[in-house]
Structure 1
Amino acid sequence: MIPLLFIASSLITYKGLKLISKILPVKNPKKSSELIVSKQEISNPEKITNRIFLISSTSLALATVGILFYPPLLYFSILGVTYDLIPLWQNGYKSLTEEHKINVGAVDFIAVSSLLLTGHYFIAALTDWIFYFGLKLVTDMKDNSKKDVVSIFEKFPNSVWLVKNEVEISIPFDDLKTGDVIVINAGEVIPVDGSVTKGVALVDQHILTGESQPAEKEIDSQIFASTVVLSGRIWVKVEKSGKETAVEKITEILNNTAKYKMSAQSKGEKLADDIALPTLMLAGITIPVSGVSGALAILYSYLGDGIRIVAPISTLNFLKVASKNGILIKDGRALEELRRVNTVVFDKTGTLTQEQPHVGKIYTLNDYGENELLTYAAASEYKQSHPIAKAILQEADKRELKLPTIDDANYEIGYGIKVVADDKLIRVGSFRFMEMEGIAIPEIMINIMAYCHEHGYSLIMIAIGSQVMGAIELHATIRPEVKMIIKQLQQRHFAVYIISGDHVEPTRQLAEELEIDNYFAEVLPENKAKIIEDIQKEGKSVCFIGDGINDSIALKQADVSISLTGASMIATDTAQILLLDKNLSQLNKLFDLAQELNTNLNTGLATTIVPGVIVIGGVFFFHFGITIASILYTTGLAAGIGHSMLPLAKYHQLEQEK
C-alpha cells in the first residue's frame, strides 16, 4: 500500500498537480463555488450541481447495497465517486496555481482519493455524497435568493400609442425610436425620457427626485422614464428609450457593483479554506504515529468542513421563518450582516410616508364653508384614481358629505379638472391651472401658497365660476407604524437618520415629529450613496430603507438594504430584503431574526468542530481510525443539521399554539 504521506505530499505540490493535469487537463477553471466542466455547463451551474449530486447519491446507494448485501456493487460505486473527483481536483488546481494556496477543494480531493486508494469505498461514497449534498444546498440557496436587477421594461407596457400623421397607432414598445412622439394618459407609467410637445399633466416623479409634491408638466417640460402621469394627457417626443433612459443608466451602475457583492465567502467556507494546509500537514505527520488509518481519520475530521452544510440549512430555515412573518430575504447573507448593523437610514417619501397624502387645512374665501368647498372638490375628483383625488375623497367620506351629480360628463383634465355641478362651473387644480383658465389669484391665496411651499404642502385650489373660492392643503401621511418602529430602533441604541430629496422644512418637521436628530434634505439621488458612504467611514454599519429609483444606488452602497413591496421595480430588485406587508411593522422582528441566526450559526459551527477536535485527540492518544472518525463526524453533522432545523420547528409550534 502506498503510504498516505507520499500521496498527500505529491498531490499538494505543484509538480504533482502538474503531472495529473496531463491526464485531466483543465481549461479555464472557474470560481471555486462553481462546478464547471464545459462551456455548455457554464450557462447553468445548477443543472451541473444537480447532476453530480445525483451521481454521488447513486454511488452511495450502490456502496450501501454492496456493503450490506452484494459486495461487487461497491466497485461500481467507485466509477461515480471517481467522476465526482474531477471538479474537486479543478477547484484545488486553480487555487494552487492561481491563488497560490491550498483550499478546501484540495483537501476534499485528497481525502476522497485516499479513501478509494486504501479500499474504504463505502466511506468514500459517503464523504462524496456529504460534500455534494452540502454544495447542492448552497447552490439552491443562492439560486433561490439571488435577484438580478430586473429590466425596467417589465414595468412598462408592451405597446405605446405613437402619433403618426396626427393619427394614434399602437406599436410595440421595443420599436420606439428617438424622435418619435407618443401619447401618455392619466394613470400610465412614462416609458421614455423626453420632452412634452403638447398637453399638460401632473406627474408623480418622487421615485426619481424624492419630492412628495407632483410636478406640473407642459410644453417643453422634461419628463423621465418610470414616473407616473397622475392627471392630464401629454404628447412626448422621445429622446431616450430603453438602455438610454436615466433609469437604465442607474441599472448599469448597479450591475457594475454586483460582482463585488457576490464575491464574499461564507464564514464556514473561509474557515475550511484557512485550515486546509494545516490539516494536510497534520495528516502527513500522523502516519508514523497512528498509521494510514489515523491519517485518514485526521483528513475526515476536517474542522469547519461540516459548517458548509449546516450553515445553508440554518440560513434557509430562517429565510422561511422570515417569509412566514411577511419578510422576503433575497440574499441570505443580508440576514447575517444585519446583526452588525448599528445605524438605520430611512428615505422619507414613500418609506416613512405613504403615497397618498391627507387633507390638512381647508382655506375658504367669501361666503363658502369648508364642507361646501370640499363637496365640490370631491365631486369633481370622483372618477379620478390618483393619490390627490383619493385624499380629497377620503376626507369627504370622513365628513359624510353627500356629493352632487356631475351634470357635464366632459372632463377637461390637465393641471386640474373642470366640471359642472349644481349649475355651477367648478375648477379644481393647481395655481398654474387657474392661470391657464384666466382666473385671477387673490393676494391672500398667493400668501397661502408661499406658506405651503415653504412647509412642503401641496395646495389644490377650488374656483367656482370665475373666482377662486378656497383651497385644500394636503400633507404627507406618516405611516401609522413608524413612530413605534423608530422607538424600537432607538431602544436597540441604533442611530437613526432621514435622507430626503424633499425640501428642508417638511423633512425637518417629520424628523421632529419622529424625534429623530439626524436628517438630510434636498439630497440628489447620486448624493444619497455618498452620505451612506460617509456614515460608513465613521465605522458604522448601515441599513438603508428606501423605495424609489433615486434610492437604488444608496441601497447598493448600504451594508444591508431594505425596501417595501409596492415600491419602484428597481428598488425592489436592488434591495436585499423586502417587507411584504407594504409597511415597516416587521422591521423589529427582522432584527430579532438576525440575532437568532447568529446564535444558531455559532452553535452549528461548534457541533461540526467539536467532533473533529475529539477525533484529532483520539488519533494521537487512543489511536482512533477512519471508522470511529466517520461515526463521530456523521453524528456531529446530524446534530448540527438538527439544531439548524429548530427555528422552523419553533415557528410551527407557535403557530399551532395560536
Structure 2
Amino acid sequence: MLPLGFLFVGSIGVTSVGIKACQKLTENQDTPSPSNPHKKTTIGKVKSEETKSLSTDLRHQQMADISSSTTDNDEIREFDQETNYYLSISSVGLGLATAGSLVFPPLSLLSVPVSMYVSLPIFHDVYRGIVQERKLKVSVIDSIGIIGGLFSGYYFVTALATFVYYSAAKLLIKTRNTTRKTLINVFTEQPRSVWLLKDGTELEIPLHELCVGDIIVVNAGEIIAADGIIAEGMATIDQHALTGEAQPYEKGVGEQVLAASIVLAGQIYIQVEKTGTETIAAQIGEIINHTANFELSLQTRGEKVAEKTVLPTLAAGTLALVTLGRYSSVAVFSANFAEVIKVINPIGMLNFLNLASQDGILIKDGRSLELLNQIDTVVFDKTGTLTQEQPHLGNIYTCNGVKENDLLTYAAAAEYKQNHPIARAIVQGANERTLNLPEIDDSQYEIGYGIKVKITDQLIRVGSIRFMEMEGIAIPGEIHKLQHSSHEQGYSTVYVAIDQQLGGMLELQPTIRPEAKHIIRQLRQRNLSIYIISGDHEHPTKQLAEELGIDHYFANTLPQDKANKIEQMQTEGKSVCFVGDGINDSIALKKANVSISLRGASTAATDTAQVILMDQTLTKLEQFFELAQYFDKNQKTGLATTLVPGVLCVGGIFFLHFGILSSMMFYNVSAIAGIGNALSPLLKKAPEKVVAPTN
C-alpha cells in the first residue's frame, strides 16, 4: 500500500495540472503567433498599414490550408475537444475520490457517477465492437476493470485509472499536434508582408499580393518569402530548413533562392518565380503532413497488437475470479497495458519524423523507416548518384601544332557564359591552370549544335564530332582513335577547331562523389550487398565498382530495364533499397522496397522516391540507416515496456497475491516507461541552426 500522503499529493497535483493544461490549451487553441516586425530605413519607402490586418488574416488562412490534412480537420478537432472535456471531468472525479479516501469518506461516493460518466465513451466502444464490428476490443477489458473496481469499492483506483486513460490520449494528441506544427513551420515560415520594388521605390505589401515576375527586396535578418532568382546584390543565406546543411552559402546574381531561407548578411533583389503554396517550402510542408498521417497506421497496428491480448486477459481474469476471488479478478483486469501500446507507437513515429527533418532527411513515406531495417541489398544508380553531375577535365589531346593551354583557353572562353555541366568543367579546368580568358565579341557568338565565337580575329568552334563534321572540319585518324578509347572508358569528349583546322580534343571524366567511398565502406560494415546499375559501358562501370570496393554491377542497362533488374533481385529473395538521382529512375524507384533520391528540395513534390536527401549528397545515407535502426529498437523497447510488466503483474496476482493497488502501480510504471521511451528521440541533439543577425 502506498503512503496516503503520497497518494494525496500526487493525485491533487496531477488533477490540478490536468485541468490547467486543458484550460491553457483551450485558451490558446486559435491564438496566432505574433510576427516579428522588420525595421526599414530606406528613403522613399511607403508603408501600407491599412493592409496589415487583412494580410495577417489571409496568411493564417493560408497556413490553415497547408495543414488542413492534419490538426485542423473536423474529425480530429472533435476528438481533441472530447478528450479535453473528459480529462477535465476525470480530474474532478480523481480529486473527489482522493478527498474521500483521506478527509471525508462520503466524497468517494460522489466520484462513482463521475467515473461512470467519463467511461461512457469506453462503454460505447465496447458496444460498437461487439454489435457492429463483431469483435472483442481492448475497451472490453477497460470496462470490466472500471465496473469491477467500482463494485469492489476501489473508488480511488478507478478514478485514477480513468484519469490515466484520458491523460495518455491527451499526450498523444499534444505530441501529434506539436510535432506536426514543428514540421510544418520548419518549411512554411514566412513573413506576413514583403518589400516590393516598383518604379525605384520600395513598397510594403501583403504577402498574398505578391505576383510572379515581381522584384522583392530582402535584407539581412529577413526570411525570403518566395522562390526566385537573384536579380541584383549578394547575400549569405541559411537554407538549413530545406537542405539540412548547417553552413550558410553566399549567393549572387543569377542564382536561385528558396522561400523559408534566411538572409544572414547582405541585401538581394529577387525576381519572383513561385509564391504561396506553389513554393518548394510549401510543397515540402504538404509532403510532411502526408507522411505524418502514417502514425495513424501505426496506431491501428498497435490496436491490433492490443486486441490480441483481450482473450488471454479475459481467460486470466475469469480464472482469477474462480480460484482467487473477485478482488484478484479485478486486479487482473486493471493490469491492462494494451491501451499504452496504442499511444506510444504513434508518439515515437512522429518524433522520429521530426528528428529526420531536422537532419535534412525528407521522409515522404513513413513505412520506409520500418522497411529499411529489412534491407539486405543496396543498389546505386551510377550517373548523378555515385558520380557528380559535373565531370572534370581529364586529358587534352592536341593536333596541328596547337598547345594544350591555348586549346583549353579557347574552349573555356567560348563556354564561359554557358551553365551546363560540361561547360562548367571546362571553365573550372582553365581556372585550375590560372589561364587568362580573352574577351569575346557577343555579336559573333552563335550557339547551335556547338558554339562559334570570334577571338582575336580567329573563328573558334567548340562542340561534338558531329558538329565538326557539319562545319566541314577534318578529324585526324589519331584523334579518332583517341576518341574511341575515351568512349570505351565512359568519358565525354569535346572538340575545338581554330578557323578551318581542328585544334584538338578535350576529355571529360566522371567525378566520383567525395563521400561515396566512405559511405560504401559504412554500408559494407552493415553486411549489405551493394550493386551499381548503369547505362554506361562495361569498362567504366567495372572501373568505378573496383575503385569504390563494390562487388556487383550491371552495365549497359536502359532506364526501363533498371526496374526489371530490381524485380529480379526481389524474386531471388532480396530486399532492395534503390538510391538514384530521380531523373530517369522513376520506375526503378517505385519498384524498390525502399527508394532514396538525391535530387534535393527543388523537385521534392514530384520525386517518386520515398526518401529525399535534401543536401543532394550521400552523406546522410548512413545517418538514415542509423535512424531506422534506432526507430526499430525504440518500437521494440516500447512493446517490451508494456507487455513485460503486464505478464509479471498477472503472475504476481496468481502466485504472490498482488492486489489492485499493486496492479495499478505496475500499470503506471509501464505507462511512464513506455511514454518516456517514445519521447526519447527528442533527447537527441538537433543540428545547430545559424542565427540571423538582429540588425
Scaled by the length of structure 2, the TM-score of the pair is 0.63
- Secondary structure of residue in 2 paired with 1:438: coil
Cα shift at 1:579: 2.2
Aligned counterpart, 1:127? 165
Rounded to whole Å, the distance in 2 between the matches of 1:125 and 1:92 is: 25
Rounded to whole Å, the distance in 1 between the matches of 2:170 and 2:129 is: 14
Give the letter aligned to residue 672 of structure 2: A
- Aligned runs of 1:187-586 on 2, under 5 Å? 268-291=302-325, 294-566=328-600, 569=603, 573-586=607-620
Q: 1:291 to 1:275 in 2, by over 3 A?
A: same
Aligned counterpart, 1:613? 647
- Secondary structure of residue in 1 paired with 2:574: coil
Instruction: Tell me which moved more, 85-94 or 343-352.
Output: 85-94
Cα shift at 1:652: 6.3
- Secondary structure of residue in 2 paired with 1:306: helix
Cα shift at 1:586: 2.6
Cα shift at 1:568: 8.0
Rounded to whole Å, the distance in 2 between the matches of 1:430 and 1:112 is: 82
- Secondary structure of residue in 1 paired with 2:442: coil
Aligned counterpart, 1:82? 120
Rounded to whole Å, the distance in 2 between the matches of 1:88 and 1:477 is: 64
**Unaligned stretches of 5+ residues in structure 1:** 1-41, 147-171, 173-187, 189-258
Instruction: Tell me which moved more, 322-331 or 469-478.
Output: 322-331
Aligned counterpart, 2:276? none
- Aligned runs of 1:86-105 on 2, under 5 Å? 90=128, 95-96=133-134, 102-104=136-138
Q: 1:456 to 1:261 in 2, by over 3 A?
A: farther
Rounded to whole Å, the distance in 1 between the matches of 2:595 and 2:141 is: 36
- Secondary structure of residue in 2 paired with 1:460: strand
Aligned counterpart, 1:596? 630
Give the letter aligned to residue 390 of structure 2: Q
Give the letter aligned to residue 616 of structure 1: V
Rounded to whole Å, the distance in 2 between the matches of 1:261 and 1:471 is: 57
Rounded to whole Å, the distance in 1 between the matches of 2:441 and 2:634 is: 67
Cα shift at 1:302: 3.1
Identity of aligned residues (%): 47
Q: 1:531 to 1:87 in 2, by over 3 A?
A: farther
Instruction: Tell me which moved more, 57-66 or 115-124.
Output: 115-124
1:546-566 per-residue CA deviation (whole Å, 9 max, x = no partner) reads: 122432332233232222243
Q: 1:558 to 1:262 in 2, by over 3 A?
A: farther
Rounded to whole Å, the distance in 2 between the matches of 1:653 and 1:473 is: 41
- Secondary structure of residue in 1 paired with 2:511: coil
- Secondary structure of residue in 1 paired with 2:494: strand
Among candidates 80, 83, 86, match of residue 56 of structure 1: 83
Give the letter aligned to residue 493 of structure 2: L
Cα shift at 1:605: 2.1
Rounded to whole Å, the distance in 1 between the matches of 2:77 and 2:143 is: 19
Q: Is the 8 A contact 2:336 2:667 kept in 1?
A: no
Rounded to whole Å, the distance in 2 between the matches of 1:309 and 1:466 is: 77
Give the letter aligned to residue 494 of structure 1: L
Cα shift at 1:412: 1.8
- Superposition RMSD on alpha carbons, in Å? 3.9
Q: Is the 8 A contact 1:362 1:470 kept in 2?
A: yes
Q: 1:138 to 1:345 in 2, by over 3 A?
A: farther
Matched, 1:646 2:680: yes
- Secondary structure of residue in 2 paired with 1:288: helix
Cα shift at 1:538: 3.1
Q: Is the 8 A contact 1:546 1:571 kept in 2?
A: no
What is the aligned length? 500
Rounded to whole Å, the distance in 2 between the matches of 1:374 and 1:443 is: 21
Rounded to whole Å, the distance in 1 between the matches of 2:599 and 2:532 is: 20
Q: 1:296 to 1:625 in 2, by over 3 A?
A: same
- Secondary structure of residue in 1 paired with 2:531: strand
Cα shift at 1:331: 3.9
Rounded to whole Å, the distance in 2 between the matches of 1:335 and 1:368 is: 57
Rounded to whole Å, the distance in 2 between the matches of 1:124 and 1:373 is: 83
Q: Is the 8 A contact 2:390 2:421 kept in 1?
A: yes
Rounded to whole Å, the distance in 1 between the matches of 2:523 and 2:376 is: 9
Q: Is the 8 A contact 2:183 2:357 kept in 1?
A: no
Q: 1:446 to 1:653 in 2, by over 3 A?
A: closer
- Secondary structure of residue in 2 paired with 1:634: helix
Rounded to whole Å, the distance in 2 between the matches of 1:92 and 1:304 is: 18
Q: 1:280 to 1:572 in 2, by over 3 A?
A: farther
Q: Is the 8 A contact 1:88 1:105 kept in 2?
A: yes
Q: Is the 8 A contact 2:136 2:310 kept in 1?
A: yes
Give the letter aligned to residue 549 of structure 2: E
Rounded to whole Å, the distance in 2 between the matches of 1:261 and 1:82 is: 26
Q: 1:323 to 1:357 in 2, by over 3 A?
A: same
Rounded to whole Å, the distance in 2 between the matches of 1:338 and 1:264 is: 16
Q: Is the 8 A contact 2:348 2:634 kept in 1?
A: yes
1:264-313 per-residue CA deviation (whole Å, 9 max, x = no partner) reads: 88764443233333223333443334555544443343355423323333
Rounded to whole Å, the distance in 2 between the matches of 1:433 and 1:423 is: 21
- Secondary structure of residue in 2 paired with 1:417: strand
Rounded to whole Å, the distance in 1 between the matches of 2:564 and 2:144 is: 48
Cα shift at 1:499: 1.1
Matched, 1:67 2:94: yes
Rounded to whole Å, the distance in 2 between the matches of 1:428 and 1:275 is: 74
Rounded to whole Å, the distance in 2 between the matches of 1:573 and 1:334 is: 15
Q: 1:393 to 1:558 in 2, by over 3 A?
A: same
Give the letter aligned to residue 544 of structure 2: L
Rounded to whole Å, the distance in 2 between the matches of 1:121 and 1:646 is: 29
Q: Is the 8 A contact 1:115 1:124 kept in 2?
A: no
- Secondary structure of residue in 1 paired with 2:311: helix
Rounded to whole Å, the distance in 1 between the matches of 2:174 and 2:328 is: 30
Rounded to whole Å, the distance in 2 between the matches of 1:653 and 1:416 is: 46
Cα shift at 1:518: 0.6
Cα shift at 1:622: 5.2
Q: 1:520 to 1:112 in 2, by over 3 A?
A: farther
Rounded to whole Å, the distance in 2 between the matches of 1:415 and 1:610 is: 72
Q: 1:570 to 1:445 in 2, by over 3 A?
A: farther
Q: Is the 8 A contact 2:294 2:367 kept in 1?
A: no
Scaled by the length of structure 1, the TM-score of the pair is 0.66
Cα shift at 1:112: 6.7
Rounded to whole Å, the distance in 1 between the matches of 2:424 and 2:320 is: 77
Q: 1:441 to 1:109 in 2, by over 3 A?
A: farther
1:80-119 per-residue CA deviation (whole Å, 9 max, x = no partner) reads: 65357656754666653xxxx5454665677678779987
Instruction: Tell me which moved more, 557-566 or 464-473.
Output: 557-566
Give the letter aligned to residue 492 of structure 1: R
Q: Is the 8 A contact 2:90 2:162 kept in 1?
A: no
Instruction: Tell me which moved more, 510-519 or 405-414.
Output: 405-414
**Unaligned stretches of 5+ residues in structure 2:** 1-67, 100-106, 185-211, 213-228, 230-292, 690-695
